[in-house]
Amino acid sequence: MEITIHTRNYITSKKFQDLVEKKLLRIEKYFAKDASCTVVCSKIGNTERMELTISTKTHSFRAQSESKNMFSNIDSVLSKIERQIVRNKEKLRATIRKEAIEEKRYAYSKTKQIVKLAPAQVKKNKSFEIKILSDKEAEVNLATLDHNFYIYADEATRDVKVMYRRADGHVGIIDVTNATIEAGKTKK
């Protein structure tokens, strides 16, 4: 598994990076060799945050943890990722290595018994027209609607974008690749 560590307002030591890589090796057993892992360490005030994203060809797993100590965040995010994998193992058969799930020895989950959730059902479908807007106009729409995200097409490129409200109060933008709006229809 390819591991990339990024920092924002946080300085990592070689010891910390080695520890992260060592701990990630314990959950590497779940993934094929082509999986990639991105770790983002940041500091906001006195709070240290770790975001962990593991991507495969078909799925992504993401967890984050905030505390006063980045070292405690490592175990927290790995436990969350492992619980996601175990909880959804039936849905993930093509992505997760079968023998890793059948071992029944989990590296980071502290509970001996994993709660099985009922399969999710789609309870509501919504459709709406995607508007062609600038980023500023989309930000106004996000503020006026009481939602955490807003989907729109970029005014200049016609690419589909998702603007979302971040936990720190700012907004983020996700560029949707391979989706462009032309004459009111989405092209992929």
- How does strand 132-133 pair with strand 149-154? parallel
Per domain, the residue ranges of the chain are 2-102, 132-187
Q: What is the DSSP letter of 183?
A: T
> CATH topology for 2-102?
Double Stranded RNA Binding Domain (3.30.160)
What integer best gives the mean pLDDT of the chain? Answer: 80
**Contacts of residue 117, Cβ cutoff 8 Å, sequence gap at least 6:** 87
In angstroms, the CA 120 to CA 90 distance is 12
Q: What is the pLDDT of residue 166?
A: 87
Residue 46 predicted with pLDDT over 50 = yes
Q: What is the CATH number of domain 132-187?
A: 3.30.505.50
CA distance 156 to 147: 24
Tokens of 21: 């890589």
Tokens standing for residue 155? 């005014």
Higher pLDDT, 117 or 19: 19
Count of H-run helices and E-run strands, the chain: 4, 9
Q: Does residue 33 register a pLDDT over 90? A: no
Q: Find the mean pLDDT for residues 81-107.
A: 63
pLDDT of residue 1: 83
Please indicate whether the domains covering 2-102 and 132-187 agree at the CATH topology level.
no
Average pLDDT over residues 27-32: 80
Q: Does residue 50 have a pLDDT over 90? A: yes
The pLDDT value recorded for residue 114 is 46
pTM, two decimal places = 0.56
For position 85, what pLDDT does the model report? 78
Q: Which residue has the higher pLDDT, 129 or 101?
A: 129
